[in-house]
Amino acid sequence: MTPLRYAALAAAALASSAHAAVPLATCDNPSFQEVLQASSATLDARAVWLDRRLLTWPGADAGASVRLYHSANASIVAKPGAKVEGADGALTLEKSAAKLPVRFKYLAAGPVLSLRPADLARMKDLHRGQLVLVQEAADGRVVAATRIQVAGALDDLYAAADGITDLGATPKQGRTAFRLWAPTARSVAICTYDSASGRATAVHDMAFDARTGAWAAQVARDLSGSYYRYAVDVAVDGMGLVRNLVTDPYSVSLTTDSKRSYVADLNAARLKPKGWDATRAPNTVKAQTDMVIYELHVRDFSINDPSVPVDKRGKYAAFGEAGSNGMRHLKALARAGLTDIHLLPVYDLGSVPEKDCAVPQPAGSPDGESQQALTRKTADTDCFNWGYDPYHYNAPEGSYATDPSDGARRILEFRQMVMDLHRAGLRVGTDVVYNHTFIAGQNEKSVLDRVVPGYYHRLNAAGAIERSTCCDNTATENLMMAKLMIDSAELWTRHYKIDSFRFDLMGHQPRAAMERLQRRVDKAAGRHVQLIGEGWNFGEVADGARFVQASQLSLNGSGIGTFSDRARDAVRGGSAGDSGEAMIRRQGYINGLVYDPNALGAEHPRVDLLRAADMIRVGLAGSVRPYSLQTFDGSTRKLADIAYGNQPAGYASQPGEVVNYVENHDNQTLFDINVLKLPLRTSAAERARVQVLGMAINAFSQGVAYYHAGIDTLRSKSLDKNSFNSGDWFNRIDWSYQDNYFGTGLPPQDDNGKDWALLKPFLANAAIKPKPADIAFARDAFRDLLAIRASSTLFRMRSTDDIVQRLRFFNTGAQQQPTVLAAWIDGKGYPGANFAGISYLVNVDTVAHTVGDAALRGKRLKLHPVHAAAKAADKRAVQARFDSASGSFTVPPRTAVVFVAD
């Protein structure tokens, strides 16, 4: 928008503020919504706008007479068998021979209809009311009627909106500008408040820009530190014309429980902790494969840490307690080789009360029901949730601030947290959830749908919101939802110095949008910002049904990383969806598949173990497509030609496109899954060793290494398979290393109840619970693994060509010892290798094994210096031997070991 045009709009808004159409009293309405003109008529939205001119009605009679009715006050009633009532008028549509645009290829067949050229100029105004498509009989009676999904028209009519750079509140010296994209609103006003809870002090009409669809107002003073809401009049199906009191989708902060948006200039000095402008992330990541990530929940980190002052527990401020147990743990990991903390969602959440949230105090027997009963009773009012429930994408969550009522506090404390982690030697990433919102429609905590109804979410054939991601799916294929996502990521990069992002269910985003986002955040940071995410392929977008997805296979070549389930499932056994006896029967590579069967696992044939070993080798090779592997049947195939279900096992172009993990916040922890799958006779000390095997496979794998916080302290959630809303009790971490919280009650009934009969005996078995010495062993062994990975770029090679040329597996093929993974990596001439070569071996068996490699005969190999150090955690690894004459290694049971050549 030109400065002249902006000034004209602002002047118009100012001129009308003294006699605003919205009364000042409306701003203090205790209700979030007022119905201005009621209508109870409801219709599906089965028709779809393709652009500003064309629409289609899938499944409709191509020869029928169809008209487009409109009403400014949303009063249309179109009942079959009766004539349309309440309309201001109707437009005649023409049949069109146009084909469906690629964007709408998923739609079923139906007639394509076109507006008459003379009516095009009216459509911007008509979209600000109600539009109903009606098939009529010869006498004008309704045969069928439908609303029309609006995104295609709005994206075409208001394409210029993508260029708006100042959505939200923009305070400057002497003035404050507000801008809201609401092209279908009848009118918009802004209510301003001097405080977080006081009455409104002013209301200003906003002026509509017909070019962008945005509303603008300018107040002639700097409102920094004050609060605001919009009053948006929109047509709503089944309600009529509605006035929504709603916060800003572009809010940068809010007051308690997100009741009001906060006016702030994020560049203002008062919002920067001392040293903020100078803070820099540690320069530990030169390539994406250098990333070693620890996934951490802000509240989990400190809520159970008595070394943190009570008022800082569960808060951003806890990261500033440099001497706390938790911070000492993180600093030790950073010294060992951890590069990144990835925080579970820290944007404004919809599910956690920011004031007076419940803090239940469960108690009971190891296999008791009382703990989960109390947790479930307060699940929706307690202080805990993972946070995959976005309310405002651009604002820090208030429950993690020491004072959620103060919009400035959460900004300052978030930034201070970033600085504290930088000082600890760690970069800061965050989990973002742009694939859905907490809620939609006309609910109080719905923001987007109450500003532009029906636009921001992905709709099904009937116009209902798709919910394949668990919640109300957003439609980032739509121009302004993609813009919101990209603008938001840029804000976190620019104003909070976020170093990397982890995208929840990223496969529901278009690849094109993710690549645009990558360019924007890189520009904002002045360097490359790493993007990783869940590239799962499912739901209404599966297999490219609506667009080229940001999914595992479709991101190939983009440089954006996706989580790999290949080695994950082979290591753990079974799959994330298992329940009942399958959770026990389907053992994995590290917990006894074939070689150490549990009570239900004896049926597995040897070939299952061989296949699992090969799938883990796929992960160790970075899942890159061209790498050739000799498989268990003796054939040699590229990873892209090895089947993983109906997909290729090797799917990535480069190793940085793969994120390797064996545990994250989802599903049971690794310790808990091993509880179910290891034979009951397995000692607590051996269970700790099995945990280390899983961590080692991840550490030795090419690509990004990703770990869940507490994996190194044998973290248990008492067998809970989905702890997103299980409260502090089932999500605790003990940074004093005395307890892993196994056997603290049956996990919540909602997701686990059907398996309680199976779980109870495990939880009641005291022999399973680790002793502090077992926890200390896993903790220290993990740090040794981090140090080994950090010691050489051979564990994190930069390119696929490097992997193809330098990584060689031995003990493969038909004659292999399937319980031993063994590899040689050639380090000659490789920058940062630090060794002429490295050989790693992982023996998951309960007995020692000897495996050989003829190509290593005559070489002089020795234990990695980390293993050989006096303080090395795993004393069993020191017993491993290499015989130069035969080129063979002897590896003790349940041991991961690395040998190096100088």
Catalytic residues: 504, 534
Q: Are 546 and 538 in contact (CB under 8 A)?
A: no
- Tell me the backbone φ, ψ of residue 751, rounded to 5 degrees: -105, -10
Whether 10 contacts 216, CB under 8 Å? yes
Best CA proximity match to 453, nearest among 211, 261, 259, 183? 183
DSSP for 774-838, please give it.
HHHHHHHHHHHHHHHHHT-GGGS-SSHHHHHHHEEEES-STT--TTEEEEEEE-TT-TT--SSEE
DSSP string, 338-366: --EEEES--EEESSS-SSS-B-------T
CA distance 354 to 391: 13
Q: What is the DSSP letter of 637?
A: E
Considering only CA atoms, which of 163, 175, 225, 228 is closest in space to residue 202? 228
The dihedral formed by the CA atoms of 880, 883, 886 and 892, expressed in degrees to the nearest 10:
-10
What is d(CA 254, CA 85) in angstroms, rounded to the nearest whole number? 43
C-alpha distances in Å from residue 745, one per residue of 211, 270, 429, 674, 726: 60, 47, 33, 18, 12
Question: Tokens representing 229?
Answer: 């809401």
Number of Cβ atoms within 10 Å of the Cβ of 456? 25
Measured CA to CA, the distance from residue 737 to residue 775 in angstroms comes to: 6
Got the DSSP string for 131-175?
EEEEEE-TTS-EEEEE-EE-HHHHHHHTGGGGG----EEEEETTE
Q: Where would I find the H helices in 654-755?
A: 670-677, 684-700, 749-752
Residue 841: strand pairing partners: 822, 897
Instruction: Give residue for tokens 């009409």.
Output: 205
- Residue 55: name the closest of 129, 158, 127, 162 by CA: 127
Amino acid making up residue 320: G
Which is nearest to 321 in space by CA: 304, 307, 334, 333? 307
By C-alpha distance, which of 706, 704, 726, 707 is closest to 717? 726
Distances (CA, A) of 532 to 207, 495, 555, 657: 40, 20, 11, 8
Under 8 Å between Cβ of 112 and 126: no
Q: How many residues does the chain have?
A: 902
Q: Are 46 and 462 in contact (CB under 8 A)?
A: yes
Tokens 């923001």 correspond to 447
Residues in contact with 790: Cβ distance below 8 Å, sequence separation at least 6, in sequence order = 292, 336, 337
